[in-house]
Amino acid sequence: MTDRQLAELALDARKHAYVPYSNFKVGAALLCSDGTVFTGCNVENAAYGSTICAERTALVKAVSEGQRSFTAIAIAGSGDDFCWPCGSCRQMLFEFAPDLRVLAVRPDGQFQTTALTELLPHAFGPTALN
Ligand code: THU
């Protein structure tokens, strides 16, 4: 799975987004260490705070199928710019994958890559509870 392919899967995952309130579609593609990819989209709710982001949709799909180890995630929004994960998604991803690579994808297919630790420095994670 190349970065380009993962980015394309994130772009495609936007098609199932349920966004009657923001009209902002997001897709995510999460690459597991065994090569499996789980996709997700944002699913909004009339009680706005119950909305789930695309990244967390992909993550909970993967974890609920037995996956615990991830190497990369691609995220595609529908604005003109790169779509970086929100704070809640950064925290949820850090729980399982502190070494995760994050690809922020623009609708035109261009993407930027960084490390999750760059997006969430000095993160609070599982080791803090030991
Ligand atoms: N959204 C995501 O799916 N991922 C993010 O990282 C940022 C925000 C969604 C939530 C909501 O449905 C819409 O984008 C606008 O905030």
In which residue are the tokens 């420095």 written?
Answer: 121
Domains (ranges, CATH) in the chain? 3-110 (3.40.140.10)
- For the CA of 41, the closest atom of ligand 1 is 3
Which pLDDT value is given to residue 24? 97
Which pLDDT value is given to residue 130? 83
- Of 41, 53, 55, 89, best ligand 1 pocket probe by most atoms within 8 Å of the beta carbon: 53
For 10-23, the DSSP string reads: HHHHGGG-B-TTT-
55 a catalytic residue? yes
- For the CA of 54, the closest atom of ligand 1 is 3
Which pLDDT value is given to residue 58? 98
SS (HEC) of 64-122: HCCCCCEEEEEEECCCCCCCCCCHHHHHHHHHHCCCCEEEEECCCCCEEEEEHHHHCCC
Q: Which residues of the chain have pLDDT under 70?
A: none
Which pLDDT value is given to residue 128? 95
Whole-angstrom Cα distance, residue 25 to residue 13? Answer: 9
Could you tell me the two tokens for 28?
A: 């995510």
